[in-house]
Structure 1
């Protein structure tokens, strides 16, 4: 199961995966959305997108996403985009590569989390600001 973060940061991808496995919580005013359509290219690259809003934080914040498609229960991590937490709405785009035959055009479930890597002593731990999930149309480009 490939997990290729867009920023080349294993820590951001790991935090996103942890966040997507955790029950939904949200900081007041923080928000994340998912676009209705995700894109699949011939080489297996998936692009998912949406919007987010977050406010001042103590650590770096990332938008992490995962995609799955029935009947499989396997979730594939799709990147980790660094977020700007200034209270304004921003667009996010994540991309990742999944083995070409694992996903096909049609309905797919996307999960996204807005995760801060908050310092706790010498170890940054994930602090979930917002989560969302939705069924999208996975379209072939």
Structure 2
């Protein structure tokens, strides 16, 4: 059981890293929100404010909707935070694809970012609904939709 969880966790991490490194959709540019044509039934938003905890933690959030039965396989909301020359994947949330609107929140303790910390101010967030597809026999990321938006990072937990 513990090995399965470890393998699943590694697969999710790998998928999130691949999604974060994926090129921007056509028509998108750094600093300008992308307007990808989402697959039918998929919606994704990014809240305009992200939070920086006193211990260097980061919290990003928004909303999503994915169609019931539309995403077969493990489906996640991944996010990447960019500020200056820093770009990091910030957590991942398992998605509930039941056709209803849900909130997502991704966090990262950032304690491992020795010498690199985000600061209050402007930043960019890329959020992605991705499914781990097993069609090839290996868990590979299948991006269902993605959004990119400028956010304001503020100190605090936002709760």
Normalized against structure 1, the TM-score is what?
0.86
2:55 matched residue in structure 1: 43
1:133 matched residue in structure 2: 148
1:4 matched residue in structure 2: none
Checking the alignment, whether the CA contact within 8 Å between 1:58 and 1:119 is kept in structure 2 is no
CA-CA distance at 1:58 after TM superposition: 1.5
Structure in which a larger fraction of residues adopt helix: 2
Checking the alignment, whether the CA contact within 8 Å between 1:13 and 1:64 is kept in structure 2 is no
1:12 matched residue in structure 2: 12
Q: How does 1:116-131 map to 2 (within 5 A)?
A: 116-131=131-146
Superposition RMSD in Å: 1.7
Once the two structures are superposed, residues 6-57 of structure 1 have per-residue CA deviations (whole angstroms, 9 ceiling, x without a partner) of xx82321221221232243632121111001000011111000000011122
Give me the whole-angstrom Cα distance separating, in 2, the residues matched to 1:44 and 1:35: 20
Structure in which a larger fraction of residues adopt strand: 1
Unpaired segments ≥5 residues, structure 1: 1-7
Give me the whole-angstrom Cα distance separating, in 2, the residues matched to 1:121 and 1:102: 38
Checking the alignment, whether the CA contact within 8 Å between 1:36 and 1:135 is kept in structure 2 is yes
Checking the alignment, whether the CA contact within 8 Å between 1:64 and 1:79 is kept in structure 2 is yes
1:68 matched residue in structure 2: 82
1:3 matched residue in structure 2: none
CA-CA distance at 1:121 after TM superposition: 3.6
CA-CA distance at 1:101 after TM superposition: 4.6
Give me the whole-angstrom Cα distance separating, in 2, the residues matched to 1:44 and 1:102: 7
- Count how many residue pairs are aligned between Structure 1 and Structure 2: 132
2:40 matched residue in structure 1: 28
From the CA coordinates, give the structure whose radius of gyration is larger: 2
Matching residue within 58, 81, 85 for 2:93: 81
| Superposed structure 1 runs of 4+ greater than 6 Å apart | none
Checking the alignment, whether the CA contact within 8 Å between 2:76 and 2:93 is kept in structure 1 is yes
